[in-house]
Amino acid sequence: MKPNAGIVSVMIAALLFLCGCASFTNDPSSKAQGLLEPAPIMRFSDIPVPAGFRLIAKDSYSFEATGVRVGVLRYQGKADPDLVVNFYKEQMAMCKWNLLNIIEYGQRVLNFERETETCIVNVSAKGNAVTITVSFGPKSQAPVNTKTTVKDPIK
């Protein structure tokens, strides 16, 4: 008895469908493939923001004048917090920021610096919403030593 061509087609389609569903599993290796892209328009060209995150204007401010800028920019969106951390590690390096350290304690805090500025990126998640707070400003200057040395009169 020969199998019906329609039944064989349905069985092949079902097999292909079931094999394809394996790629939709929530395994950790699939997380590495889900990279975030930078937003096409950013408040500052050298401080990236993941696409899909919106500025919370009432919780943000920035000031820029003659080579000095200071700001706190708060964004909200939906993404895996680990992907947001990886986004900042990669994108900030491309914008010539050096990663100093990462502190994780429920929230994630990334500290960056470059010649004259520092930038702190705080990533916090509540439910499926992620809030990113980017704080930046000039590096504090080391205090100038104004003490004068007194020579020992005995010598």
Here the CATH number for the domain that contains residue 115 is 3.30.310
Residue 118 lies inside a defined structural domain of this protein: yes
pLDDT at 20: 38
Strands (E), the chain: 54-55, 61-65, 68-77, 98-105, 107-113, 117-126, 129-138
pLDDT at 43: 83
Number of structural domains, the chain? 1
Residue 12 lies inside a defined structural domain of this protein: no
Residue 104 lies inside a defined structural domain of this protein: yes
pLDDT at 145: 67
Which parts of the chain have pLDDT scores under 70? 1-34, 142, 144-153, 155
Residues facing 120 on adjacent strands: 111, 135
User: Residue 129: which region, alpha, beta or left (left: phi > 0; alpha: psi -120 to 50)?
Assistant: beta
**Other beta carbons less than 10 A from residue 82's beta carbon:** 16
pLDDT at 25: 35
Residue 50 lies inside a defined structural domain of this protein: yes
Residue 148 lies inside a defined structural domain of this protein: no
Residue 120 lies inside a defined structural domain of this protein: yes
Please give the model's pTM, rounded to 2 decimal places: 0.69
Q: Could you list the residue range(s) of the whole structural domain that residue 45 is in?
A: 34-138
pLDDT at 38: 85
Residue 10 lies inside a defined structural domain of this protein: no
CA 85 – CA 82 distance, rounded (Å): 5
Residue 25 lies inside a defined structural domain of this protein: no
